[in-house]
Structure 1
Amino acid sequence: MTRLLLLLLTSSATLLVFGLWIPLKAVLAQEMLELAWAENQARQTDSRPWPWADTWPVARLAMPVLNDSMIVLAGTHGESLAFGPGQLTGDDNNSGAVVIAGHRDTHFRGLKALETGNEIRLQGRNGRWRSYRVENARVVDSRSELIDTQQLPDGTLLLVTCYPFNSVDPGGPLRYVVRARISGDRYPREQIDTVAGI
């Protein structure tokens, strides 16, 4: 009986650790990414957050209505998305169209709460903030509809995550896409803390 109880407790603890690993990694990584982001801005170089990282911070994304701010990484491959959302298109100053993808169960779980008119802010490495307003959110089936990033007008911001939000199955063909347009509000570097809501 004691062995069975010990086996049950060990199995439960193991499952708990595996279940919390991705969310825990996402939170801890953002702390290290904050340091790398500060170095990127100060030196205007691509500073990796840890020696073996295959990505680096390229922007800061703030969603004031959700009281949320996070570092955005270069690229959208699976390994980097475990640590933060990834920027698929856009340049260092976040000009042109910007597409950012993130996991639905960590960094982008709050996207479902964004509504038309909500503000989203994006800071480039130059320290400047750009303000966007949510135009719409919709579900896209990736099997039948592709987002042509070349056709997006300048000043467009797309935030993309898997859908549905409460699914336990990884991946799947459905994507939740939030589309926002630049609103013209730009903030100087000195207003970083106020603008980001941090």
Structure 2
Amino acid sequence: MKLIFIYILFVIGGLLCIHASWLPAKAWLSQQLISYSWHQSIDQQKLYRKKVAIKPWPWADTFPIAELSFKRIEKDIVVLNGGDPTTLAFSAGAIAPFNLANHTSAFVVAGHNDSHFSFLEDVIMKDVISMTDQYGKSQLYQVEAIDIIDASSGQLPIVTNNSSLILITCYPFSSVGNNTNERYVITAKLI
């Protein structure tokens, strides 16, 4: 009887460990799949000379469209297409209609401050951000403004007719939960 009780406790403990490791394992795997699909997209684009959208997994509602590199803080992040909650659960997302990496309009990227964009609090004025688009073309941006904006009005001040990179996350970074109306907005200009 005592041996059966120990066996049951061992099985329950094992199941609890597996359950506890499920989310971190899923998060790690999704980042690997996103990175792989990003590199596959770039390779396919170079091979066929046209934009190729490769989903990270077959049932994904999104695909990678850019990669941001922050050299000073040694951080790279693949940006997915879209700003819906499903996309933002896996990475930062480029928000339509500002999701075209070109020289004529702003490129707006949002992310969660407790996960994929938590490093934004380490970005400082004059930092250089490299953005590689779906065609493998790199552009350099320099941070020119860091603002904290009240988003309760429903409008964020985004200039649509310039070639800036705008990064948005909730503020403050150390807040528990997402019940804040403030947004941390980094604006970088094309250099």
Q: Which runs of 5+ in 1 are unaligned?
A: 184-198
1:24-63 correspondence runs (5 A): 25-41=26-42, 42-43=44-45, 44-63=51-70
Q: Which consecutive segments of 4 or more residues in structure 1 shift more than 4 A?
A: 23-26, 92-95
Q: How far off is 1:142 after superposition? A: 0.7
How many Å separate the matches in 1 of 2:99 and 2:61? 18
Q: Which runs of 5+ in 2 are unaligned?
A: 46-50
Say yes or no: does 1:177 pair with 2:178.
no
The higher relative CO (CA closer than 8 Å, separation ≥ 6) is in: 1
Secondary structure of residue in 2 paired with 1:65: coil
1:83-102 correspondence runs (5 A): 83-88=90-95, 89-93=98-102, 96-102=105-111
Structure 2 residue identity aligned to 1:71: V
Match of 1:194 in 2: none
Q: Which of these residues, 158, 177, 190, is aligned with residue 166 of structure 2?
A: 158
Say if 2:71 and 2:128, in contact at 8 Å, map to a contact too: yes
Count of matched residue positions in the alignment of Structure 1 and Structure 2: 172
Say yes or no: does 1:108 pair with 2:117.
yes
Alpha carbon RMSD of aligned pairs, Å?
2.5
Secondary structure of residue in 1 paired with 2:175: coil
Say if 1:93 and 1:126, in contact at 8 Å, map to a contact too: no
Which structure has the bigger radius of gyration? 2
Q: How far off is 1:94 after superposition? A: 6.8
Could you state the TM-score of these two structures normalised by the residue count of structure 2? 0.79
Structure 2 residue identity aligned to 1:47: I
Among all aligned residue pairs of Structure 1 and Structure 2, give the percentage whose two residues are the same amino acid.
32
